[in-house]
């Protein structure tokens, strides 16, 4: 048996998923040399982009004018310490970056930098006071060559706006003006559905080291509340923008980010106890205790406001975590919309939290480039942003926007955060407790580590209108997988360093063909003359705007909301096989998609459905969470495998090559088996017309 490759002739190696040799699993489709670490990504390529040329992925502009693609910049990781400043309720000590630098004794390196952060509760003072604080931070950042992270919050400290006062005729602002107005009832949260005073809150509590009485929680959807936030942001953000735009290109790292919100929530920062309004005129010593986890969730006012604006949201029954998430993200989209008038999206970070009633999706923006951030301690338990085949948000850059004050600062804890997914920033609260607890050594340990060159996401994905020409390639962020457009027209996904094949488009025999991420959501292989579509995902109109090569070896088409609409793990092309995988993976009580083995299973784009070859020879479709079978073939012997054949059949073979089952689609033109989100396995033609289904 002879195997001919584009660059090298070698003896065929046995590989579990696909073979490059005629008569075996791939029938010559995967042209990947197996006897060397190929392809190599040089340091120059890492610095300049794939193959060392930024222009390699050419932009196809026709039809793409409506797409705004903002990719994360080539930024380092930031290990930030948060400057609290407050010595007591009345004494504030201004940020001293020099003090931090002198105490830590190092700045880190170009790939992981020390940073200093500070929160501006921008209603707690005049706009000019906020601008001056920003000017002071930016000046110190340049003088000490230490990046800054600016936290902007207008929801926790909004007393000076007076917008909360719908019930106290005696209250006056700093200028002596009355803030009382009954219409302000629309600006505060409610503890139940309704529009009158019986459900509007008058008081809130906050747990910041100790329980404090605060103003009622704001209605995050209130037009007056949002207008006040927009006005203040537009008053202070130009200072940040002017400074950043004036930095030399090699000093842009000095802005580690602008963080929006502080544990943004309709109630967490001003929680409400049962019958809370009754305590307003009592002594604080009579206040109930227990913190936000022992209170009733708010969000009823914001939900009603959004519903009136046409948002599809809950309007009856106990408030749900889905509704909480919708409220938070709608508020973030508003803040982001104002902020990106001045600051590029890849410098914007949201600050949400993962807690009771707060889904981790809260904080993940639809605006490309904006980084989600959370108050977080254990990402494995709290969020799903590492790259898993059943996770739509896998691989997005993220920030630990707050490493909580009550959690011990250890090198191991910080390393765990940076190691999870594509973590770009860890922000430790607070600098004062770091010094008091002698935790500076943990920071030094992390800064002494070099995590490698800053990741260039553009090296891992194609955005709408971009193409991958013959000889060009994408690398997963971790450098362990490569997607290469071969000279023969075959798009090949392989695992490095050996070049183990994982998937291909099976379009060899078409020299000069290229892969194109189309503006209509389709990802396709186009002939060299641009006239013929050789292969396509069938995702036109899906909203897909990028094709991303993930760390798990999965090529995924993503929308701006990070939803996967197609993945390479959902498709079996001509010559590809499914072989039996480890049975212990399918223990539903301990299921972890990261243990799935490529080539043993198909996974639907939404990560909920699976097609697997069982060790006993069964070929089955199963669904989460209990992996209940919805369709199966049981009569093949142990060791059987499934193969998509060139004649259009999906066939189950015994280990010896005997046919045990076929789809009966010979001559139909079927070229691939696709596992859909509805759990059906469908055989499709090159034009994505279905010819057989398991339904």
- pLDDT tens digit sequence for 196-211: 999 999 999 998 878 9
530-553 mean pLDDT: 91
Confidence tier at 561 by pLDDT (50, 70, 90): confident
**C-alpha dihedral (277, 279, 284, 285), degrees to nearest 10:** -140
What integer pLDDT is reported at residue 189 of this predicted model?
A: 98
Highest averaged pLDDT of the listed ranges 1-10, 69-78, 410-419: 410-419
Q: Is omega for the bond preceding 89 within 30 degrees of 0, making it cis?
A: no
Domains in the chain: how many in total?
3
| Residue at a domain's end among 411, 427, 454 | 454
1 and 92 share one domain: no
What integer pLDDT is reported at residue 376 of this predicted model?
A: 87
Segment among 46-55, 128-137, 402-411, 543-552 with least mean pLDDT: 46-55
For residue 13, pLDDT beyond 60: no
Pairing of strands 601-603, 609-613: antiparallel
371 and 416 share one domain: yes
- pLDDT tens digit sequence for 71-102: 444 579 999 999 987 655 556 688 899 999 99
499-527 mean pLDDT: 93
How does DSSP classify residue 210? S
337-352 mean pLDDT: 94
513 and 561 share one domain: yes
Segment among 136-145, 383-392, 555-564 with least mean pLDDT: 383-392
307 and 360 share one domain: yes
Q: For the purposes of burial, counting CB atoms within 10 Å of the CB of 330, is it exposed (0-12), middle (13-18) or buried (19 or more)?
A: middle
Residues, the chain: 695
For residue 523, pLDDT beyond 60: yes
| Residue at a domain's end among 454, 486, 512 | 454
Q: Please tell me whether residue 623 adopts helix, strand or coil conformation.
A: strand
What integer pLDDT is reported at residue 9 of this predicted model?
A: 26
CATH no. for residue 123? 3.20.20
Are 116 and 83 in contact by the 8 Å Cβ rule? The answer is: yes
219 and 246 share one domain: yes
Average pLDDT, the chain: 85
449 and 398 share one domain: yes
What integer pLDDT is reported at residue 492 of this predicted model?
A: 94
222-238 mean pLDDT: 97
Confidence tier at 535 by pLDDT (50, 70, 90): very high
Alpha carbon distance 56, 254 (integer Å) = 29
Confidence tier at 64 by pLDDT (50, 70, 90): low
24 and 86 share one domain: no
For residue 460, pLDDT beyond 90: no
Pairing of strands 112-121, 108-109: antiparallel
- pLDDT tens digit sequence for 37-56: 334 444 444 444 433 333 33
| Residue at a domain's end among 518, 540, 567 | 567
Confidence tier at 286 by pLDDT (50, 70, 90): very high
558 and 630 share one domain: no
Percent of the chain past pLDDT 70, that is, above it, reads 86
556 and 486 share one domain: yes
What integer pLDDT is reported at residue 56 of this predicted model?
A: 36
**Which residue segment(s) compose the domain that 581 sits in?**
576-695
**C-alpha dihedral (334, 340, 343, 348), degrees to nearest 10:** 50
pTM score of the predicted model:
0.70
538 and 592 share one domain: no
Angle, CA 247 vertex, CA 125 and CA 233 arms, to 5°: 25
264 and 392 share one domain: yes
What integer pLDDT is reported at residue 593 of this predicted model?
A: 76
Alpha carbon distance 29, 5 (integer Å) = 10
For residue 69, pLDDT beyond 80: no
CATH no. for residue 504? 2.90.10.10
The better pLDDT of the pair 131, 295 is held by 131
Confidence tier at 366 by pLDDT (50, 70, 90): confident
Segment among 40-44, 323-327, 424-428, 611-615 with least mean pLDDT: 40-44
What integer pLDDT is reported at residue 618 of this predicted model?
A: 87
- pLDDT tens digit sequence for 600-615: 899 998 888 999 988 8
44 and 127 share one domain: no
Angle, CA 450 vertex, CA 446 and CA 456 arms, to 5°: 120
Confidence tier at 57 by pLDDT (50, 70, 90): very low
Are 657 and 630 in contact by the 8 Å Cβ rule? The answer is: no
């Amino acid at each position: 048996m002879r195997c001919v490759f584009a660059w090298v002739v070698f003896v065929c190696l046995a590989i579990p998923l696909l073979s490059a040799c005629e008569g075996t699993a791939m029938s010559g489709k995967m042209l990947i040399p197996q006897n060397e670490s190929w392809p190599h990504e040089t340091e120059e390529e890492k610095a300049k982009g794939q193959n060392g040329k930024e222009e390699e992925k050419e932009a196809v502009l026709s039809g793409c004018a409506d797409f705004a693609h903002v990719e994360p910049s080539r930024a380092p990781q930031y290990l930030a310490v948060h400057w609290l400043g407050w010595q007591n309720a009345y004494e504030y000590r201004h940020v001293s970056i020099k003090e931090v630098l002198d105490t830590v004794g190092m700045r880190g390196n170009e790939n992981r930098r020390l940073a200093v952060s500070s929160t501006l509760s921008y209603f707690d003072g005049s706009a000019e006071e906020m601008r001056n604080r920003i000017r002071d931070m930016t000046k110190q950042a340049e003088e000490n060559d230490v990046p800054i992270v600016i936290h902007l919050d207008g929801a926790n400290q909004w007393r000076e706006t007076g917008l909360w006062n719908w019930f106290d005729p005696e209250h006056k602002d700093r200028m002596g003006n009355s803030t009382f107005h009954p219409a302000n009832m629309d600006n505060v949260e409610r503890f139940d559905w309704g529009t009158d005073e019986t459900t509007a809150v008058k008081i809130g509590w906050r747990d910041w080291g100790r329980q404090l009485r605060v103003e009622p929680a704001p209605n995050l959807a209130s037009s007056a509340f949002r207008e006040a936030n927009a006005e203040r942001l537009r008053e202070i953000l130009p200072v940040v923008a002017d400074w950043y735009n004036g930095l030399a290109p090699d000093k842009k790292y000095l802005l580690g980010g602008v963080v929006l919100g502080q544990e943004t929530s309709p109630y967490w920062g001003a929680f409400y106890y049962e019958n809370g309004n009754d305590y307003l005129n009592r002594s604080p010593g009579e206040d109930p205790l227990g913190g936000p986890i022992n209170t009733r969730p708010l969000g009823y006012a914001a939900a009603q406001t959004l519903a009136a604006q046409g948002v599809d949201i809950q309007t009856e029954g106990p408030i749900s975590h889905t509704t909480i998430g919708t409220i938070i993200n709608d508020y973030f989209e508003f803040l982001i919309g104002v902020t990106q008038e001045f600051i590029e999206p890849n410098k914007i970070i949201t600050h949400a939290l993962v807690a009771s009633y707060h889904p981790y999706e809260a904080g993940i923006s639809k605006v490309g480039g904006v980084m989600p951030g959370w108050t977080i301690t254990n990402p494995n338990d709290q969020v799903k942003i590492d790259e898993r085949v059943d996770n739509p948000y896998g691989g997005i850059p993220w920030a630990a926007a707050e490493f909580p004050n009550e959690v011990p600062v250890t090198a191991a804890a910080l390393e765990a955060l940076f190691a999870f997914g594509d973590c770009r920033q860890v922000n430790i609260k607070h600098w004062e407790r770091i010094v008091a607890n002698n935790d500076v050594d943990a920071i030094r340990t992390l800064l002494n580590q070099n995590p490698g060159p800053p990741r260039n996401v553009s090296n891992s994905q194609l955005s709408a209108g971009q193409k991958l020409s013959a000889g060009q390639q994408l690398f997963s962020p971790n450098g362990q997988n490569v997607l290469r457009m071969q000279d023969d027209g075959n798009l090949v996904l392989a695992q490095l360093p050996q070049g183990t094949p994982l998937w291909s488009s099976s379009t060899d025999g078409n020299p000069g063909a290229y892969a194109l991420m189309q503006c209509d959501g389709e990802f396709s292989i186009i002939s060299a003359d641009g006239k013929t579509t050789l292969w396509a995902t069938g995702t036109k109109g899906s909203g897909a705007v990028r094709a991303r090569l993930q760390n798990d070896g999965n090529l995924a088409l993503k929308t701006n909301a990070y939803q996967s609409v197609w993945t390479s793990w959902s498709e079996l092309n001509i010559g590809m096989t499914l072989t039996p995988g480890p049975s212990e993976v399918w223990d539903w009580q301990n299921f972890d998609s990261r243990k799935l083995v490529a080539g043993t299973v198909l996974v639907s784009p939404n990560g909920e459905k699976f097609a697997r070859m069982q060790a006993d020879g069964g070929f089955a479709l199963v669904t989460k969470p209990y992996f209940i079978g919805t369709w199966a073939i049981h009569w093949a012997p142990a060791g059987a495998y499934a193969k998509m054949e060139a004649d259009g059949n999906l066939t189950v073979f015994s280990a010896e090559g005997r046919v045990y089952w076929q789809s009966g689609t010979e001559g139909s033109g079927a070229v691939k088996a696709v596992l859909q989100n509805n759990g059906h396995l469908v055989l499709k033609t090159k034009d994505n017309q279905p010819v057989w289904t398991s339904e």
